[in-house]
């Protein structure tokens, strides 16, 4: 980037704008994650509808970040390190957008499940998973703002707890389906919901890795810790 202090200050202002949009987006995703799980547990179709509607704001913020980042790159000619910051932000907002999509999908399935008999011991577990993911997201966004690689690394390891809850719930759902075939449809919806939450945890770990890269200049060398022992569904579509 040009050494002109006026250009440097302009870059910093533009980057602050992008980071503010990213933090706002992260806050909306945190709310969507908890609200989607609460709508499931309480069978609140109105809350589920709001989650689905509010996803538009998350998408709009991602579009704004993309536009601001493109403008910044075109006008400010950032150095390699500054460009790394901008590209990391774009990857972070991409992960946030996907998390918003998963929350929307959970809300959509919650509306269907509200019309079926409840499956004992499942929705509370999903909400516990979602709360864990939401706390991970809150912490990793703090790590991003503070450029705290140690906190980001800690968040990265905590995804294993999400996987463990998911594995346990998966076994419960299988038991319900085997005991009464009438539960199969509801349990399949619940499985997709649980898998969505588990994937949200994966996206938080991706954000954590971007924070580590942004702070240290390199990605973690060790493989991402995973504890998902199921192979029931290889991909989830919204």
pLDDT in tens, 124-146: 999 999 999 999 999 999 999 99
Q: Which two tokens stand for residue 164?
A: 């463990």
**For residue 231, pLDDT beyond 60:** no
Q: Rg of the chain's alpha carbons, rounded to an integer?
A: 20
3-state secondary structure of 115: coil
Average pLDDT (221-235) is 59
Q: Which of 63-72, 79-88, 104-113 has the lowest mean pLDDT?
A: 79-88
**For residue 92, pLDDT beyond 60:** yes
Is the domain spanning 5-216 CATH 3.40.50.40? The answer is: no
Does this model's pTM top 0.85?
yes
Q: Are 186 and 71 in contact (CB under 8 A)?
A: no
Average pLDDT (29-52) is 98
CA 105 – CA 39 distance, rounded (Å): 12
Domain ranges of the chain: 5-216
Band of residue 237 on the pLDDT scale cut at 50, 70, 90: very low
Q: Are 207 and 144 in contact (CB under 8 A)?
A: yes
Band of residue 173 on the pLDDT scale cut at 50, 70, 90: very high
CA 10 – CA 142 distance, rounded (Å): 24
Q: Which two tokens stand for residue 158?
A: 């905590």
């Amino acid at each position: 980037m040009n050494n002109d202090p006026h250009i440097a200050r302009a870059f910093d202002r533009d980057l602050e704008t992008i980071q503010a949009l990213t933090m706002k987006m992260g806050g909306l995703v945190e709310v969507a994650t908890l609200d989607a799980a609460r709508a499931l547990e309480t069978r609140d179709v109105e809350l589920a509808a709001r989650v689905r509607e509010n996803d538009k704001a998350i998408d709009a913020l991602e579009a704004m970040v993309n536009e601001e980042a493109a403008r910044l790159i075109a006008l400010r000619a950032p150095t390699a390190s500054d460009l790394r910051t901008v590209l990391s932000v774009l990857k972070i907002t991409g992960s946030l957008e996907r998390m918003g999509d998963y929350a929307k999908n959970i809300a959509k399935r919650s509306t269907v499940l509200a019309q079926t008999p409840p499956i004992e011991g499942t929705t509370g577990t999903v909400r516990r998973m979602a709360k864990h993911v939401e706390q991970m997201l809150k912490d990793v966004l703090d790590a991003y703002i503070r450029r705290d690689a140690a906190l980001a690394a800690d968040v990265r390891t905590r995804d294993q707890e999400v996987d463990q809850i998911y594995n346990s719930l998966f076994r419960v759902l299988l038991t319900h389906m085997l005991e009464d075939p009438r539960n199969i449809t509801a349990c399949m919806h619940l499985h997709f919901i649980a898998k969505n939450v588990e994937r949200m945890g994966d996206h938080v770990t991706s954000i954590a890795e971007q924070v580590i890269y942004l702070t240290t200049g390199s990605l973690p060398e060790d493989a991402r810790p995973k504890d998902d022992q199921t192979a029931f569904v290889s991909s989830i579509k919204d």
